[in-house]
Amino acid sequence: MSLHLQNIDHIVNGVPHISGIDLALEPGSFNVLLGRTLAGKTTLMRLMAGLEPPTRGKIIIDGKDVTNVSVRKRNVSMVYQQFINYPSLTVYDNIASPLKLAKHPKSAIDKRVGEIAEMLHIEHLLNRYPQELSGGQQQRTAMGRALIKDADLILFDEPLVNLDYKLREELRDELRDLFQARNCIAVYATTEPNEALALGGNTAVLHEGKLLQYGPTEQVYREPNGRFSAEMFSEPPINIVPGRLTDTEITFDQSLHFPCDDKLKRLEPGDYDFGVRASHLTLQPQRADDLALDVHVDVAEISGSETFLHVHHERFPLVLHLSGIHQFSVNEPLKVYFPTHQLYAFDKQGHTVHIPARQGGAAHG
């Protein structure tokens, strides 16, 4: 099936929750809704499911207007943040419940439950009750129930947020593989840019109830259409430094001058916000045109195998994303190198006006 949201507005008690969203989801597509808390992700999913009708606009499924068709008459599954299972039913019966309700023959149910449980690695737990399971196993059970019926639309509302990061890694991988083999539309809400990248598919960036950008995940990441989209879709967030562009150079903070990259010279001279990815800043110079900056360390956030180094220059803060473990003291002075050839430029309305060339080739098997 295809799903088309046409100019959707949703207003609750006079407060707009969704404003002017137009979004067409292709059959068999995996779609991530990326946005911070209160960006409108859950509201949008409720509208897609038919749990409530939008204030304005239409919802079209396979060319038919279903705007006012209730959730019961749509073939939809949902998985929530909380692990929702029937406490008095075994894992088997939890997963089987949608098929039992639809009065499928027992042999067919047996077969399907077996397949789904195997896919989710819970086949050895079928006789247990939810309260005897770990959080990850409970969420797998809830997913099993959502996956067993051939829903046209499956909605995941931050399903992994209450699990520890190791389980999240594993389940994310499984989900990707799972949906490659299915023909329904999947929609997956998350606040984490790295989760969107790990899931792949398409990403819709939401901010304050508006759709900022929609497209293939990698493309949205590399070619954000505006400053907000770039900021929402990066963790640590892309560094933004305001500056002035003349015919030959860029000036940061009225005092830092550097010659600008040839490709930036085609822009009109004026004030811009320049963006540089945290992973493109370095502790050693990489090229002759790198700009050396004197900074002080705020904190080094270390995540097992990588370091997010927060520093501040006299007038602006920066974040570096370094591979490996690097420890620094608070307020330690440091030199960092700013790649002047890898700048994004946003105009003062927040639109992207320049995207740096990609380094090297794409690594694709």
Partner 1 sequence: MAEITLKGLAHSYEKTPKGAADYAIRQMDHVWHQGGAYALLGPSGCGKSTLLNIISGLLEPSEGDVLFDGQRVNELPPEERNIAQVFQFPVIYDTMTVFDNLAFPLRNMNTPEYRVKPKVLEVADILELTSLLDRKAKNLTADEKQKVSMGRGLVRDDVTAILFDEPLTVIDPQLKWKLRRKLKEIHERFNITMIYVTHDQLEASTFADKIAVMYEGQVVQFGTPRELFERPAHTFVGYFIGSPGMNFMAVEYRDDQVMFGTQPLPVSEQMKHAVANASSANAIANDISYNNIKLGIRPEFIAIASNPTADSVPIQVTSVQDLGTYSLLTFKLNEQTFKARLPEGHPPVGEAAFAHFDAAHVALYIDEYLVEAGHE
User: Which parts of this chain interact with partner 1 (CB under 8 A)?
Assistant: 36-37, 134-135, 164-166, 169, 191, 193-194, 197-198, 200, 218, 221-222, 234, 277-279, 298-305, 308, 310, 321, 323-325, 327, 329-330, 358-365
H or E element at residue 33:
strand 30-34
Q: Which is nearer to partner 1, 264 or 300 (CB)?
A: 300
**Shortest CB 107 distance to partner 1, Å:** 33
Nearer to partner 1 by C-beta: 18 or 196?
A: 196
Starting at the edge strand that comes first in sequence, how are the strands of the sheet with 56-61 ordered? 15-25, 3-12, 56-61, 64-65
Look-up: residue for tokens 């939810």?
130
**Minimum CB–partner distance for residue 321 and partner 1 (Å):** 6
Using the minimum distance from each CB to partner 1, give the nearer residue, 24 or 330.
330
CB of 163 to partner 1, least distance (A): 10
Residue 51 DSSP label: S
> What φ, ψ does residue 312 adopt, rounded to 5°?
-135, 135
Q: Which is nearer to partner 1, 254 or 305 (CB)?
A: 305
Q: How far is the CB of 354 from partner 1 (least distance, A)?
A: 19
Q: How far apart are CA 151 and CA 143, in angstroms?
A: 12
Least distance (Å) between residue 216 CB and partner 1: 10
Give every CB contact of residue 364 below 8 A, 6+ residues apart in sequence: none
76: β partners = 153
Question: Looking at beta carbons only, is 85 or 234 nearer to partner 1?
Answer: 234
Nearest to 179, CA basis, from 170, 188, 167 = 188
Nearest distance, CB of residue 11 and partner 1, angstroms: 26
Distances (CA, A) of 174 to 146, 159, 160, 232: 15, 13, 12, 25
Nearer Cβ to partner 1 (27/135): 135
